[in-house]
A and B are shown apart, each in its own frame.
Chain A
């Protein structure tokens, strides 16, 4: 990345940034919020898969993902045009249509990025317009030695796959299956999955935006608390 500083216009506001930096972090630094799920600031090669960070750039025919749009001198960006708002809303509605919406009993409640984005977009966490998709998976997949995976919460952002790939002991997490059945699997794309073991670093549980991946230990503690609260609630009226 060159050290040249350029000036760009975002939603009418002039901001400066190093040339070639990705647009999304530049906007975030200047207090212009653009929602995203799949992006992490340490990524060199963001996957641009959640499609929430789409923005309009003058002169380009189609919206682009700001997480991997390099900043250039004189660029004019709009993050809040009608078209962008519409696309974001549809993308968000699609995402939550697969979600069970049981926030109260979710380990990520109140720290969930989906909740934050819902607030920002003024969208409900349960969509009425679209049919709810109940993905054909169990609530919990617990065959990993240290991880609990809740596929119905997973938004398939791929952050866990990314942080796992950064682990020097080789990675285990990867996408599996296709279409609506796509899921995170624990076997990675290494030639001999048995040869590599989970590094037990729990990095994936820390960056999961929706609490679909958590450490077994933490998850069990959380569930015990939830049960306890439920018990207390039941007892109160009587």
Chain B
């Protein structure tokens, strides 16, 4: 490829103009364009089948259209998402488009533009007189998209899309003004690390810059929190933004080596990032003498083999060096002596993704978003019992209540909210009374939770908080590297005590043990995995102590979730004669017909899976759940065989 000449900004202008033309040609194309969200989440929801459905329907109907694969918009509840750009219409976004719906869209809309299929439509991406726009929905209106602005709208595998949207402009400006300037901008913006701890990125960079050795910059894409996928989405949906941020960071610290550490469980992210690096090299945005500035940088991709602890900086470095991923004590901090003893900066995907926007718009602009001490936006993957799960980007400082109720539509199925778990497995469970807490690094820490990398689990009234604590402790124990005593053995004891409580064998004095071990693990552990692992235990003990007591003293699970402490029975008043729905679904044949031809559950055989609750037709809704199990009323149930008239006894 022929490279332009001149200063970095001039060279980029040439690249940007060419990209702009290419994208504009696509926009003006007389052929409709179908964009299908094909990030990992979209694929899991069936996006590839949707594409096949479109291809088949287009061929069958003799319609010409171009299918493009884009990234993820973050609206998981609506996957697979499809955007159709049909000449004469604004770009229209459709939800839950499977192969069948794809066929309908082709026949009714793409064929002749007659019916834009309102039944599948979310809205128009641009303001329009005839269509509702996305901004009419609270989910879009209240979000503030800085990092995710382009996600799901551009083709992540085509660098032109990113360039046309103003991509790499920040890099060109940074190259022209120099690394020192980039560092000062990021420092002035007070960009705090989005990986969890919230350490100011600029200060970290400054430390590395002051060490006179080859410096290394690593992008930490080892996202491992259960239910969190912000980093994956950014890597898959807008890889060039992360890459631009990484190059800018490299420039700011004067790095000679740059690496992506992406977990091997994210094969698509690895593939897309490798393509992005190749495309950037081709345009001299990477490699030798970037845009004629004299700055040289090569970027590699390293696949981490899936240990949660490798998200911890020192463990990540150990894993990169070919060793077992085990954290090491600090100091020395990686910023001073990290990979191969060289000053090493490790930044989260989200942190680096924010950098280009700061450089493009200036630090004053960044301070206008968010709070004074936590400027900018936060990205959460909102999961659990919520109406609209998915990725949400909000300005720092909004309250949890606003995020859960207004933006994400509140709790599913009209149930009551019980708690939100924020900050991943080492975050805290906050009760409804703390929903007014503002989302920023400091406020969350104050109430015993943490920002973490951005996992947010919504729990409804049917969630047992002891079980939640057990689940997360089980996760951290299983992922503990086993190096230090507190984390390896302490979290094991926590898990065992919690387990015994959930099966009704807990002892009241063990609550003290839980507290003592938890505080000791926090104080004594070597790395932040251990130092935060007891957070779910401590916060549930603090805010939901009554549930612990109910389990221990009354052998009762208030949420009726713990199997050993609950039982199912069928309310004979509600049960319908002749209906066999529950019988068919029971995996252990525990349900039998009673003498008056209704159904009952043999408690001996029941494994409390709860299938019958779902199988029972809603008009009867006869299956009841009680805790403790002794609460099952005596309904005088007789099996059909041994009923009246039969003398046979077993």
Q: Which residues of A contact B (CB under 8 A)?
A: 45-52, 54, 62-63, 65, 68, 83, 86-87, 90-91, 94-95, 97-98, 129-131, 133, 155-156, 158, 174-182, 189, 191
Max chain B CB contacts within 10 Å: which of A62, A95, A177, A182?
A: A182
**What's the Cα separation between A68 and B513 when bound, in Å?**
29
Report the interface size for chain B: residues with CB under 8 A from the other chain.
33
| Cβ 8 A contact of A189, one of B323, B329, B479, B482 | B323
Does B524 interact with chain A (Cβ within 8 Å)?
Answer: yes
What residues on A are CB-neighbors of B523 within 8 Å?
62-63, 83, 87
Nearest B residue to A54 by beta-carbon distance? Answer: B524
Known contacts A62-B523, A91-B520; is-contact A179 B484 (Cβ 8 Å) = no
Does B489 interact with chain A (Cβ within 8 Å)?
Answer: yes
Are B329 and A48 closer than 8 Å at their CB atoms? yes
Known: A65-B329, A179-B482. 16 other contacts (CB 8 A): A47-B329, A48-B526, A51-B485, A63-B523, A90-B520, A90-B524, A94-B490, A94-B517, A95-B489, A133-B493, A156-B482, A175-B324, A175-B483, A179-B488, A180-B477, A189-B324
What residues on B are CB-neighbors of A176 within 8 Å?
324
Are A47 and B479 closer than 8 Å at their CB atoms? no
Are A174 and B490 closer than 8 Å at their CB atoms? no
Does B492 interact with chain A (Cβ within 8 Å)?
Answer: yes
The 7 closest A-B pairs by CB, nearest first: A182-B482, A94-B489, A90-B520, A48-B329, A180-B492, A179-B480, A49-B483
Q: Which residues of B contact A (CB under 8 A)?
A: 307, 322-324, 326, 328-329, 477-486, 488-493, 496-497, 513, 516-517, 520, 523-526
Q: Nearest-CB distance from B197 to chain A (Å)?
A: 14
What residues on A are CB-neighbors of B322 within 8 Å?
189, 191
Residue pairs across A and B with Cβ atoms less than 8 A apart, 26 shown, are A47-B329, A50-B485, A52-B485, A62-B523, A63-B523, A68-B329, A90-B486, A91-B524, A94-B485, A94-B486, A97-B489, A133-B489, A133-B496, A158-B483, A175-B481, A176-B324, A177-B482, A179-B480, A179-B491, A179-B492, A180-B480, A180-B489, A181-B482, A182-B480, A182-B482, A191-B322
Nearest B residue to A182 by beta-carbon distance? Answer: B482
**What's the Cα separation between A49 and B497 when bound, in Å?**
24
Are B513 and A129 closer than 8 Å at their CB atoms? yes
**What's the Cα separation between A38 and B615 when bound, in Å?**
57
**What's the Cα separation between A179 and B322 when bound, in Å?**
20
Q: Nearest-CB distance from A110 to chain B (Å)?
A: 23
Are A182 and B329 closer than 8 Å at their CB atoms? no
What residues on B are CB-neighbors of A97 within 8 Å?
489, 493
Are B480 and A178 closer than 8 Å at their CB atoms? yes
Are A156 and B520 closer than 8 Å at their CB atoms? no
| Cβ 8 A contact of A49, one of B323, B484, B513, B520 | B484
Q: Nearest-CB distance from B394 to chain A (Å)?
A: 31
**What's the Cα separation between A60 and B483 when bound, in Å?**
24
Are B486 and A51 closer than 8 Å at their CB atoms? yes
What residues on A are CB-neighbors of B481 within 8 Å?
175, 178, 182
Q: Nearest-CB distance from A93 to chain B (Å)?
A: 9
Are A90 and B516 closer than 8 Å at their CB atoms? yes
Nearest B residue to A161 by beta-carbon distance? Answer: B324
What residues on B are CB-neighbors of A68 within 8 Å?
329
| Cβ 8 A contact of A178, one of B482, B486, B497 | B482
**What's the Cα separation between A110 and B484 when bound, in Å?**
25
What residues on A are CB-neighbors of B326 within 8 Å?
175
Q: Nearest-CB distance from A181 to chain B (Å)?
A: 8
Are A174 and B489 closer than 8 Å at their CB atoms? no
Are A91 and B488 closer than 8 Å at their CB atoms? no
Q: Nearest-CB distance from B327 to chain A (Å)?
A: 10
**What's the Cα separation between A54 and B484 when bound, in Å?**
12
What residues on A are CB-neighbors of B526 within 8 Å?
48-49, 51, 65
Are A175 and B486 closer than 8 Å at their CB atoms? no
**What's the Cα separation between A148 and B493 when bound, in Å?**
28
What residues on B are CB-neighbors of A86 within 8 Å?
520
Known contacts A51-B485, A175-B324; is-contact A94 B493 (Cβ 8 Å) = yes
What residues on B are CB-neighbors of A156 within 8 Å?
482-483, 488
What residues on A are CB-neighbors of B520 within 8 Å?
86-87, 90-91
Are B493 and A51 closer than 8 Å at their CB atoms? no
Max chain A CB contacts within 10 Å: which of B479, B480, B482?
A: B482
Nearest A residue to B491 by beta-carbon distance? Answer: A179
Are A133 and B492 closer than 8 Å at their CB atoms? yes
What residues on B are CB-neighbors of A129 within 8 Å?
513
What residues on B are CB-neighbors of A62 within 8 Å?
523
What residues on B are CB-neighbors of A191 within 8 Å?
322
**What's the Cα separation between A181 and B492 when bound, in Å?**
10
Q: Nearest-CB distance from B426 to chain A (Å)?
A: 15
What residues on B are CB-neighbors of A63 within 8 Å?
523-524
Are A131 and B488 closer than 8 Å at their CB atoms? no
Known contacts A94-B486, A131-B496; is-contact A179 B479 (Cβ 8 Å) = yes
**What's the Cα separation between A62 and B489 when bound, in Å?**
21
**What's the Cα separation between A175 and B481 when bound, in Å?**
9
Are A178 and B478 closer than 8 Å at their CB atoms? yes
**What's the Cα separation between A191 and B482 when bound, in Å?**
22
